[in-house]
Structure 1
Amino acid sequence: MLPVMAETLSQLVADSFEIAWDYLEATGELGNPDIAANHLLDTIEAMIRCGERRRLLLSNNAITAYQRFRAEQPLSLAS
């Protein structure tokens, strides 16, 4: 039996971020790339610090948190 390769935390962050970014970009919800990148990474990293390791849960929660954040911002900051 072959050993299971554990995904590194940096790869988990990168994969989760990419899923969230690609979704937001495809739906036209990305807005300012710098703000989006910071918010997505902050959300994903906070969840990882709390022990979450499921890539799709990380990316989906980051998407939802970013959508909520953008909805709460004045238009000048969200775009």
Structure 2
Amino acid sequence: MSIRCTVESAFFIAWSSLEKSGELGPPDISANIILDAIEAQLRTGERRPLMLANKAIDAYRNLNRQPRTREVRLG
């Protein structure tokens, strides 16, 4: 399986899973988070699509669990 097919497969698995669970946010941001996580795993030598997808889902969920800080302006 080529790297392109591996990435496409892993992305589709992760995207579908997050979409079905209702966790998927804005498409552009979500796609970037998923692809960044897949790319990071590819750099470590991981090539199994399901493992890549699972790690991408974990990264997406962990990123969205972090509290967001709001800017407060006084005056």
Separation in 2, partners of 1:49, 1:73: 28
Aligned to 1:72: 66
Cα deviation, 1:46-68, whole Å, max 9, x if unaligned, reads 11111001111100010011000
Aligned length: 70
User: Considering only aligned residues, what root-mean-square deviation do their CA atoms show, in Å?
Assistant: 1.6
Aligned partner of 1:4 in structure 2 is: none
Structure 1 unmatched runs, 5+: 1-6
CA distance in 1, matches of 2:32, 2:3: 17
45, 55, 64: which is aligned to 2:39? 45
Residues 46 and 73 of structure 1, relative CA distance in 2, 3 Å threshold: same
Please tell me whether residue 26 in structure 1 is matched to residue 20 in structure 2. Answer: yes
Segments ≥4 residues shifted beyond 6 Å:
none
Identity of aligned residues (%): 48
How does the TM-score come out when normalised to structure 1?
A: 0.82
Larger radius of gyration: 2
For structure 2, list consecutive stretches of 5 or more residues without a partner in the other structure: 71-75
CA distance in 2 between counterparts of 1:67 and 1:27 reads 11
Q: What is the TM-score of this pair, normalised by structure 2?
A: 0.87
